[in-house]
Amino acid sequence: MHLNHRTRVAAQRREEMHLHLLVSGLLLASIKPIHEIEIEDVIKHAQVSRGSFYNYFQSLQALYDELARKLMQELFSEIEILAPRHSDTVERLASTIRLLIRLLVKYPVLGSFITKIQWPNRNQNSGLFQAITQDISLGIEEGKFTNVPVSIGANIAIGSIIGGVHTMLIEGSIQGFEDKITNQVLIGLGIDTQSASICSQLPLPEYGSLPGTGILGKLADRAAHETESAGLPWKT
Amino acid sequence: MENITHHLFKADQKHLDQINESILFGASELARDHSIESIQIEDVVIRSQVSRSTIHKLFITVDGLYKRLAQRLTNEMAENCLHNLPEIPDIAIRVATKTKMALLIADKLPFLSRLALKEEWPSANPDHLIYRDIEKDIEEGIKLGCFSNMPPSIGANIIIGSLRGAFEEILQKKQPKEYSNQVVYQILISLGVSQETACQISETSAPAIPPLPAEGLVSKVVSLEGLETKANFTQG
C-alpha cells in the first residue's frame, strides 16, 4: 500500500513535469518562430536541467510533435463538448470549423502555435483535423459533398483554418471572418451558395473558460496568475 | 566619428555568402540521404566543414537552416516559372495553369519539392513571391467578378492550403492521373467558379515545366535528383 502511494505520487510528478515542459514549449512558440527555439530556451523557461528535459523527450522536435498531437486532441474534446448536436454532416462540419477558429483566435497562444507547426505533417494528423477529415468523408459518402478524394477536401478545410487564424491574429479579429472562411470551404466541398451561407451562420454557443486539465488546464492556471501583469498576449 | 575596424576583423560579405551557400548545399545533400527530421547540427558541421557557431549564427537551428533553404528554393523556382509562363488573360485559367504547374513540379522533382515543403506557412514572410502572386490573382479575380466576393486572403489560403496538402500526398505516393484535375477543380469551385466552368478548365492539360535555371541553388539541388536542368518536364 505504501509502495502504491509512492508509485502513484511519482507517476503524478512525472505527468506534471511532462505537462510543464510541453507548456513551456507552447509559450515559447507564442513569442518566436519554432525554428528559432533551442533546447536551452525550453530548459531555461521551464527552469529544469538538461537531463530532466531528455528524461521526457529525445529532442525538441519530439516535444513539438507531441505538443501538437496532444493539443489537437484536447481541442477536439473541447469542441465536441461545445458544438451543438447536429445530425447533419454539413452543419456539424461548419460548426466545428467556426468554433475552432474562434477558440484559436480567442486564445492567441494556441492560435499562434497552430499556425507555426509544420503542416501538413503525417505525425500530427490526429484529434481535431482527423475529425474534420472524417466529416468530409461522411459528407462525400452521403452525396452531400463532391465525390473527390477526401484528402483534397480536407486540405481546403484545414489550410483555410490555419491560414485564416493567422490572418485574424495578424490583422486583428474581424467580425464574422470565420463565417466567411467556412462559407467558402463549404462551397469548395460542393455545397450550393445558399445552403453554405445558412450553415456558416447558424447560432453557436459562446466560449466559457478553458478546462481544468491537460495543456489547456495549465494555460488556464497560468492565465489566472498572469491576467494582472501585462505580459503574454494569451487571450484577446 | 566612424568606428575604425581592422580589415582582418571586418565581416567579408562575399565570404559570408559563400559560406551560406556551402551550408545550404551541404544541407541539401544531407536531406537526399536522410530524413530531414533526423539531421543533427553535427551532421551539417561535418558535411559543410564549418563550425557549429557559424551555423548557429546564420540559422540558429537545423530547422531554421531548412526553412531558409526552402525559402530560397521556392523563390528561385517561382521566379523562373512565372518569368517563363505566357500571358493568360482568363484569371480562372491562369490560376488553374499555375496550380497544375506546381503539382507537376511535385511529381517530377520530388526531392526539390520535399525541401520546398519545409517552407514556413502561414507565418512566413508575407512578401514572398508566391504569396504575392497568388494574392494578386485572387484580387484580380474578385475585381472581375470571376471569384466570390471574399477577403483575398481567404482565397489565397484555399490555394496554398490545397497545394501544400497535395504536395504531401504526391510525395507520399504516386497519385492517379486525374488527381491534379481534381485538385484544380476543387480550388476553382472554392473560389466561386461555377462547377461547369471549373470542370472544363480543370481538364485542360498541364503546361510543361520551363527549363530550370542553369545557375543558383535550384540547379544544384536538381542535379542531386540526378536530373538535367535543361530537360523539359512534361506531364506523364
Question: Which residues 92-121 of chain A have a CB within 8 Å of chain B?
Answer: 115-116, 118-120
- Which pLDDT tens digit goes with each residue over A52-71? 999 999 999 899 999 999 99
- pLDDT bracket for residue A8 (50, 70, 90): confident
Q: Which of A201-210, B5-14, B194-203 has the lowest mean pLDDT?
A: B5-14
Lowest pLDDT segment from A44-48, A159-163, B228-232: B228-232
Question: How many CB atoms are closer than 10 A to CB A217?
Answer: 15
Is residue A227's pLDDT more than 70?
no
| The predicted structure's pLDDT at residue B10 | 59
A172: left (phi over 0), alpha (psi -120 to 50) or beta: left
**What average pLDDT score do residues A69-91 get?**
89
Query: Based on C-alpha coordinates, what's the Rg of chain A?
Result: 19
DSSP string, B88-116: --SHHHHHHHHHHHHHHHHHH-HHHHHHH
User: What confidence tens digit (pLDDT) does each residue in A150-188 have?
Assistant: 999 999 999 999 999 999 999 887 789 999 999 999 999
pLDDT digits (tens, 9 = 90+) for A102-112: 999 999 999 99
**Buried b / exposed e across B129-148, counting CB within 10 Å, b at 16+?**
bbbebbbebbeebbeeebbb
Same domain, B210 and B125: yes
Nearest to B161 among A34, A160, A189 (CB): A160
Q: Does residue B107 belong to any structural domain of this protein?
A: yes
Return the number of CB contacts < 8 Å for A and B: 127
pLDDT at B12 (0 to 100): 75
Q: Is residue B2 part of a domain?
A: no
Q: What is the 8-class DSSP label of residue B45?
A: H
Number of structural domains chain B divides into: 2
| Residue of B154, B179, B196 to mutate for A, most A C-beta atoms under 10 A | B154
Q: Is the Cβ pair A167, B153 closer than 8 Å?
A: yes
Q: What is the pLDDT of residue B69?
A: 96
Given a contact cutoff of 8 angstroms between Cβ atoms, the answer to whether B20 and B58 are in contact is yes
B173-216 pLDDT, tens digit each:
999 999 999 999 999 999 999 999 999 999 988 888 899 888 88
Cα–Cα dist A122/B37, whole Å: 13
pLDDT exceeds 60 at position A231: no
Which three cell numbers mark B110? Answer: 520530388
Distance in angstroms (rounded) separating the CA atoms of residues B20 and B112: 19
State the average pLDDT for chain B. 89
* Domain co-membership, B90 together with B176: yes
Whether residue B153 is found in the same domain as residue B46 = no
Q: What are the CA-CA distances from residue B15 to residues A199, A203, B134, B192, B225 (Å)?
A: 59, 61, 35, 50, 28
The predicted pLDDT at position A6 comes to 82
Q: Check whether A1 has a pLDDT greater than 90.
A: no
Together in a domain, B27 and B92: no
Distance CA A73, CA B75 (A): 35
B52 and B109 both lie in a single domain? no
Q: What is the largest CA-CA distance in chain A?
A: 65
Q: Say how far apart CA B156 and CA A184 lie, in whole Å.
A: 12
ipTM of the complex model: 0.88
Whether B77 and B183 share a structural domain: yes
In a domain, B103, yes or no: yes
Mean pLDDT value across residues A39-60: 96
B61, B161, B168 member nearest A156 (Cβ): B161
Q: Which of A168, A159, A103 is nearest to A136 (CA)?
A: A159
> Do residues B197 and B129 both lie within one domain?
yes
Asked whether the beta carbons of residue B157 and residue A151 sit closer than 8 angstroms, the reply is: no
Residue B233 backbone phi and psi in degrees, to 5: -95, 110
What contacts B174, CB < 8 A, 6 or more positions away?
A: none
* Residue numbers of A between 34 and 73 with CB closer than 8 Å to B: 34-38, 60-61
Interface membership of A217 toward B (CB under 8 Å): no
CATH code, B162? 1.10.357
Tell me the three cell numbers of residue A25.
514549449
pLDDT in tens, B10-26: 567 788 888 999 999 99
B31 and B144 together in one domain: no
The average pLDDT across B97-109 equals 95
pLDDT above 70: residue A189? yes
Domains and CATH numbers, chain A: 65-226 (1.10.357.10)
Residues B77 and B33 in one domain: no
Q: Which among A155, A187, A190 is the nearest to B161, CB-wise?
A: A155
- Distance separating alpha carbons of residues B63 and B49, to the nearest angstrom: 19
Domain co-membership, B94 together with B152:
yes
Query: What percent of chain A shows pLDDT beyond 70?
Result: 92
User: ∠ CA(B53), CA(B59), CA(B64), 5° rounding?
Assistant: 135
CA distance B109 to B119: 16
Cβ atoms of residues A112 and A33 within 8 Å: no
pLDDT exceeds cutoff 80 at B155: yes
**Separation of alpha carbons B186 and A126, rounded Å:** 24
Residue B231 domain-assigned (yes or no):
no
The CATH number assigned to the domain holding B38 equals 1.10.10
pLDDT band at B236 (very low <50, low <70, confident <90, very high): very low
**C-alpha–C-alpha distance, residues B102 and B171, integer Å:** 13
The answer to whether residue B134 is domain-embedded is yes
Fill in the amino acid letter for A29. A
- Are B158 and A184 a contacting pair at CB < 8 A? yes
**CB-based contact B162:B186 (threshold 8 Å):** yes
Give first-to-last CA distance, chain A, whole Å.
48
Amino acid residing at B96: A
Best-predicted range by mean pLDDT among A67-81, A220-234, B185-199, B207-221?
B185-199
Question: What is the C-alpha separation between A98 and A109, in angstroms, rounded?
Answer: 18
- For residues B50 and A1, the model is more confident at B50
**B232 within some domain:** no
Q: In which band, very low, low, confident or very high, does the pLDDT at B164 lie, cut at 50, 70 and 90? A: very high
Query: Does B3 fall in a domain?
Result: no
Q: In chain B, which residues touch A (CB < 8 A)?
A: 37, 60-61, 63-64, 66-67, 118, 120-123, 148, 150-151, 153-158, 160-162, 164-166, 168-169, 172, 179, 182-183, 185-187, 189-192, 195
Least confident span in A13-22, A125-134, A195-204: A125-134
Query: Is residue A229's pLDDT more than 60?
Result: no
Q: What domain range includes position B48?
A: 10-60
User: What confidence score (pLDDT) does residue A233 get?
Assistant: 52
- pLDDT, mean over chain A: 89
Confidence class of residue B228 from pLDDT cuts 50, 70 and 90? Answer: low
pLDDT at B93: 97
Q: Is B173 found in the same domain as B195?
A: yes
Position B20 in a domain: yes
> Do B127 and B52 belong to one domain?
no
Q: pTM to 2 decimals?
A: 0.90
CA nearest to A203, candidates A57, A94, A68, A56 = A94
Identify the residue with better confidence: A136 or A209. Answer: A136
Residue B51's Cβ-side half-sphere holds a number of Cα atoms within 13 Å equal to 3
Q: Where are any strands of DSSP class E within B69-213?
A: none
Tens of pLDDT along B48-78?
999 999 999 999 999 999 999 999 999 999 9
Distance (Å) from the C-alpha of residue B75 to the closest C-alpha of chain A?
19
Average pLDDT over residues B155-184: 95
